Amino acid sequence: MAGSLTIRGASIVRSAGVHVGDVVVVDGIIREVAPSARSVAGEVVDGRGLVLMPGVIDPQVHFRDPGLTHKEDLATGSRAAAAGGVTAFLEMPNTKPNTSTLEALDAKLAIGAEKCVVHYGFFIGATGHNDDVLNAADKACGIKIFMGASTGDLLVTDPDVLDRIFRTANKLIAVHAEDERRLIERKASLPADHPRDHPVLRDATAALMATKQAVGLSLKYGTRLHVLHVSSEEEADFLTTIPRDRITAEVCPHHFVLDYEDYERLGTRAQCNPPVRGGRHATALWKHLVAGTFDCTATDHAPHTLEEKGKAYPGSPSGMPGVEWLLPLMADRVARGMCTWPDLVRWMCEGPARCYGIVGKGKIEPGYDGDLVLVDPRATRTIRDGEVWTKCGWSPFDGWTTTGWPVMTVIDGQPVFRDGVIVDGVRGRALTYQR
């Protein structure tokens, strides 16, 4: 299903700059972008005073469907995405069952077609015993390798197996880079009494060791590598020292907007893998994002219920929701003069589309898909646990007041979120990739 829509007089954001003008979408495809469009199609929306961006792409979410749908499912997760201006997402394989077979991938794509209100893509998960599946999974956005254990049981640590997967992979490998051996050693020898111990147990060295190992394998075999959720200054610095033509990397807002002290306030809500480190790490990650070290942002939206999070550390699960606050948190940094709207388009739209070769997404240009988000740059709202879209029902940013909120999210020329409400009946499509 595709729609037609004209948005007039908005501040249109492209990586090259911001220009006031009109965007005309015909049958789901952007047909005209001009200071004053000659054509008109569908409903005419007054965009004056609003910022118009390409739909945001979140390239790392956990939407828990199938199997863990008491935390989230593809309907609630994709609605949270739409409410946050996110028009496409890439979802991780640690569901139940794991997405580690072609049958599981097809089953997830079928659930996506039924439930998703924005566009969707899914990773195939490496088990160490499914290399054939990884390479046959043409419909996957990439291969996910957990090099350190996190939520679920997907894990590959044997150096020979990692070598083999990198040698034979025919598509992008995305890594959760934490060195499992070091994590095990530290868990056995260090106190784990409070969530503030989490970044000590899962330290920056563990992250750097695994990132270096993955980068080494990528350089050895020329394998396309994406380093997920880089969390430390050391890894970011390291990424500036290596050839990057086959290696991309991402950073998540929680790693630079939260601080070490937040463990006192948030407790297990701040617990995630890799951990929030704060301090010099948060400062460095932001600086590296602005300097171009990272190709994109992602949320690693990882919902767990408050009951689950209420278990005493370290029995509490790692992960926090985020998909609906990616754009608001970043727009707030624009409002505070820390970055620009074109930066946001580079990091949140063009960047993820380029990393994964997502066809037709990430830009407001004729011929691209009509996936858009209109943002009110002056709207100020306070995030509250009771007013979230995610099924888990809470936010690590509860009580934060930010400026710059989406007022309309459009996929394929159809509004899917408008003035605080999800529009009935709109469905996303499976993403396609140019490798």
Q: Which residues bind ligand DOR (CB under 6 A)?
A: 62, 94, 150-151, 176, 272-273, 302, 318-319
Least Å from the CB of residue 366 to ligand DOR:
38
- Give the nearer residue to ligand DOR in terms of CB position, either 22 or 300: 300
Which of 295, 300, 369, 371 is the catalytic position? Answer: 300
Backbone angle region of 372, left / alpha / beta, with phi > 0 → left and psi within -120 to 50 → alpha = beta
- Give the nearer residue to ligand DOR in terms of CB position, either 5 or 392: 392
Going across the sheet that includes 143-146, the strands are 124-125, 143-146, 173-176, 225-227, 247-251, 296-297
- Cα distance between residue 112 and residue 325, in whole Å: 22
Least Å from the CB of residue 95 to ligand DOR:
9
- Give the nearer residue to ligand DOR in terms of CB position, either 130 or 273: 273
- Give the nearer residue to ligand DOR in terms of CB position, either 130 or 299: 299
Residue number of the CB closest to ligand DOR reads 319
CB within 8 A of 270, min separation 6: which ones?
195, 258, 262, 263, 276, 320, 396
> SS3 of 126, please?
coil
- Give the nearer residue to ligand DOR in terms of CB position, either 248 or 273: 273
Pair of tokens at residue 364: 């407001």
Least Å from the CB of residue 317 to ligand DOR:
6
- Give the nearer residue to ligand DOR in terms of CB position, either 176 or 224: 176
- Cα distance between residue 169 and residue 82, in whole Å: 33
Least Å from the CB of residue 347 to ligand DOR:
21
- Give the nearer residue to ligand DOR in terms of CB position, either 183 or 373: 183
Q: How crowded is the C-beta side of 135, counted as CA atoms within 13 Å?
A: 12
Is omega for the bond preceding 303 within 30 degrees of 0, making it cis?
no
Cβ atoms of residues 166 and 218 within 8 Å: yes
- Cα distance between residue 8 and residue 21, in whole Å: 6
Least Å from the CB of residue 195 to ligand DOR:
12
Told to judge if 153 belongs to the known catalytic residues of this protein, a careful annotator would answer: no
List residues bridging with 175 in a β-sheet: 145, 227
Least Å from the CB of residue 93 to ligand DOR:
10
- Cα distance between residue 364 and residue 53, in whole Å: 7
User: Rounded to 10 degrees, what is the CA torsion of 407, 411, 417, 419?
Assistant: 30
Least Å from the CB of residue 364 to ligand DOR:
32
CB within 8 A of 253, min separation 6: which ones?
297, 299, 322, 325, 326, 329, 330
Enzyme catalytic residues: 300
